[in-house]
């Protein structure tokens, strides 16, 4: 018989790391499945989600309750912010008291799976055949899937129509980096500003750099490849040429959007979640996919959550949990949920319905189809150890401390040491 002690030690180590970064008041123990009744039928089933913005009257919560009613059980839902949710999930697993369902940000899935917290979709008998493979990949580790994506968001380029018209730029012609840079030059010549984005030294910055990095053909296992250097050279040249503001070094995605909302910028790299704010800017806007270097749509990283089922001592609970997960991710319910969350659905059938009801989502569907998970390519828990050197690298180059080549060479050395 195989010993489970190494897995337990690994879980304790990951949980200990989580404790180190969370507030004492946020890490008190909350009952998971142990607070519900045992057995396959009836009782209370717990679900933790990262949507504290939704109260009990929200459509999302009503859906949870309906899925519970349909399955013949009561659903007890608790909401946390994303960081607290990860910490609590690790601690609850260590204590053997995980919730029945856990909805987590897609890069977290590999962390929890590696710690032995999650069941696989095969164990839970969950049908993922209709899910877009590139979205499902964000929750796969070692060829196994550990949840079902509830939907996805990603990045594209918003543009200011009046600014481009005044500069004589047709956004439909922007299919590669050369065309985009030429457009920025034309805009600058009119006295307006080119493009704003977030290059802050956090995961937000890496999230925004990845479309350019991947769009050059680079791979996260070799940060200092010629392709990776070309992507950073693009950003650096934009700053040096006055086509992007120096403020990008400190911009979050929110402050970057605020710059675009002034009406002075031609373009902003931002996400699906800004659609409601775009309608409030007071100027006509449009959206195009982020172009790759040589042409076509660049792979942008996927955001969004997975519905997962943590390991339970009482496996008789899995049958009902399977019904609840299936209910939450069914086509009709996914459409409602993804509309609420400003997400693009994880299946083509629901994506088509979204576009049919809102033509503005067509560009986002295209972007999501080209997108990829940050932990894809079987990077799993290595991704955060690569992302941090990456953002340190582009910050170093954008500030002028090192050339793009030297900055990414140092980043690759750090990443290689961290992922040994």
Lowest mean pLDDT among 10-19, 80-89, 306-315: 10-19
The reply to whether 287 and 200 lie within a common domain is yes
pLDDT in tens, 343-375: 999 999 999 999 999 999 999 999 999 999 999
Residue 3 lies in a domain: no
Dihedral (C-alpha) 364, 365, 369, 374: value to the nearest 10 degrees? Answer: 40
Is residue 313 over pLDDT 90?
yes
CATH code at position 145: 3.40.190.10
pLDDT band at 27 (very low <50, low <70, confident <90, very high): very low
- Name the β-bridge partners of 288: 157
pLDDT in tens, 215-263: 999 999 999 999 999 999 999 999 999 999 999 999 999 999 999 999 9
Mean pLDDT over each residue of the chain, to the nearest integer: 90
pTM: predicted TM-score of the whole model, two decimal places: 0.85
pLDDT band at 406 (very low <50, low <70, confident <90, very high): very high
> Which residue among 315, 342, 369 closes a domain?
342
Task: List the structure tokens of 206.
Answer: 């890496």
The reply to whether 408 and 266 lie within a common domain is yes
Cβ neighbours for 170, distance < 8 A, ≥ 6 positions apart: 164
The domain in which residue 403 lies consists of 155-302+379-418
pLDDT of residue 11: 54
Question: Percent of the chain scored above 70 by pLDDT?
Answer: 90
The reply to whether 325 and 389 lie within a common domain is no
The reply to whether 289 and 252 lie within a common domain is yes
Q: Long-range contacts for 236-239 (Cβ within 8 Å, ≥24 apart)?
A: 236/397, 236/398, 236/404, 237/181, 238/181, 238/184, 238/194, 238/195, 239/398
Is residue 116 over pLDDT 90?
yes
Is residue 24 over pLDDT 60?
no
pLDDT of residue 212: 98
Residue 350 lies in a domain: no
The reply to whether 295 and 334 lie within a common domain is no
pLDDT of residue 10: 52
Q: Give the 3-state DSSP-derived string for the chain, with helices as H, strands as E and coil as C.
A: CCCCHHHHHHHHHHHHHHHHHCCHHHCCCCCCHHHCCCCCCCCEEEEEECCCCCCCCCHHHHHHHHHHHHCCCEEEEEECCHHHHHHHHHHHHHCCCCCCEEEEEHHHHHHHHHCCCECCCCCCCCCCCCECHHHHHHHEECCEECCEECCEECEEEEEEHHHHHHHCCCHHHCCCHHHHHHHHHHHHHCCCEEEECCCCCCHHHHHHHHHHHHHCCCCCCCCCCHHHHHHHHHHHHHHHCCCCCHHHHCCCHHHHHHHHCCCCEEEEEEEHHHHHHHCCCCCCEEEECCECCCCCECCCECECEEEECECCCCHHHHHHHHHHHHHHHCHHHHHHHHHHHCCECCEHHHHHHHHHHCHHHHHHHHHHHHCECCCCCCCHHHHHHHHHHHHHHHHHHHCCCCCHHHHHHHHHHHHHHHCC
The reply to whether 336 and 219 lie within a common domain is no
Selected residue with higher pLDDT from 32 and 407: 407
The reply to whether 183 and 43 lie within a common domain is no
pLDDT (mean) for 252-276: 96
Is residue 23 over pLDDT 80?
no
Q: Would strands 285-288 and 155-160 be described as parallel, antiparallel, or unpaired? A: antiparallel
Residue 119 lies in a domain: yes
Selected residue with higher pLDDT from 309 and 38: 309
pLDDT (mean) for 7-18: 46
pLDDT of residue 250: 97
Lowest mean pLDDT among 31-35, 300-304, 396-400: 31-35
> Which residue among 342, 371, 391 closes a domain?
342
pLDDT band at 41 (very low <50, low <70, confident <90, very high): low
Residue 347 lies in a domain: no
pLDDT in tens, 197-215: 999 999 999 999 999 999 9
pLDDT band at 378 (very low <50, low <70, confident <90, very high): confident
Residue 171 lies in a domain: yes
Question: Percent of the chain scored above 90 by pLDDT?
Answer: 85
Residue 27 lies in a domain: no
pLDDT of residue 342: 87
Contact 238, 221 (CB under 8 A): no
Task: List the structure tokens of 286.
Answer: 């449009």
pLDDT (mean) for 303-327: 96
Residue 280 lies in a domain: yes
The reply to whether 201 and 293 lie within a common domain is yes
The reply to whether 275 and 215 lie within a common domain is yes
The reply to whether 137 and 193 lie within a common domain is no
The reply to whether 264 and 407 lie within a common domain is yes
pLDDT of residue 339: 87
End-to-end CA distance of the chain: 29
The reply to whether 274 and 260 lie within a common domain is yes
Is residue 6 over pLDDT 70?
no
> Which residue among 286, 320, 342 closes a domain?
342
Give the chain's domain count: 2
Is residue 324 over pLDDT 60?
yes
Residue 11 lies in a domain: no
């Amino acid at each position: 018989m195989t010993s489970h002690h190494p897995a337990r030690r690994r879980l304790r180590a990951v949980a200990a790391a989580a404790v180190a970064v969370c507030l004492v008041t946020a890490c008190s123990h909350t009952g998971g499945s142990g607070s519900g009744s045992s057995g396959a039928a009836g009782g209370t089933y717990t679900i933790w989600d990262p949507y504290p913005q939704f109260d009990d009257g929200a459509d999302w919560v009503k859906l949870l309750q309906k899925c519970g009613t349909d399955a013949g059980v009561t659903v007890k839902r608790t909401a946390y912010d994303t960081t607290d949710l990860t910490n609590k999930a690790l601690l609850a697993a260590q204590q053997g008291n995980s919730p029945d369902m856990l909805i987590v940000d897609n890069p977290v899935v590999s962390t929890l799976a590696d710690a032995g917290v999650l069941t696989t979709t095969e164990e839970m008998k969950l049908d993922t055949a209709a899910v877009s493979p590139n979205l499902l990949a964000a929750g796969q580790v070692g060829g196994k899937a550990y949840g079902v994506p509830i939907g996805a968001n990603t990045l594209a380029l918003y543009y200011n129509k009046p600014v481009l018209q005044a500069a004589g730029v047709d956004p439909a012609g922007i299919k590669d980096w050369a065309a985009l840079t030429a457009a920025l030059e034309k805009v600058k010549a009119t006295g307006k500003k080119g493009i704003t984005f977030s290059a802050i030294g956090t995961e937000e910055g890496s999230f925004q750099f990845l479309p350019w990095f991947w769009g050059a053909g680079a791979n996260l296992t070799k940060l200092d490849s010629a392709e990776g250097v070309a992507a950073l050279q693009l950003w650096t040249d934009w700053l040096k040429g006055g086509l992007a503001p120096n403020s990008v070094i400190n911009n979050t995605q929110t402050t970057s959007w605020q710059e675009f909302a002034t009406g002075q910028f031609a373009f902003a790299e931002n996400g699906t979640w800004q659609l409601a704010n775009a309608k409030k800017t007071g100027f006509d806007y449009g959206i195009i996919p982020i172009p790759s270097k040589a042409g076509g749509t660049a792979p942008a990283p996927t955001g969004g959550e997975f519905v997962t089922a943590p390991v339970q001592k009482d496996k008789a609970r899995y049958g009902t949990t399977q019904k609840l997960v299936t209910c939450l991710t069914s086509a009709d319910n996914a459409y409602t949920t993804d509309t609420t969350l400003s997400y693009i659905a994880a299946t083509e059938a629901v994506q088509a319905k979204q576009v049919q009801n809102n033509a503005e989502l067509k560009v986002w569907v295209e972007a999501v189809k080209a997108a990829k998970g940050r932990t894809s390519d079987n990077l799993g828990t290595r991704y955060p150890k690569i992302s941090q050197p990456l953002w340190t690298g582009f910050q170093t180059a954008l500030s002028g401390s090192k050339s793009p080549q030297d900055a990414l060479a140092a980043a690759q050395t750090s990443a290689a040491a961290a992922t040994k």
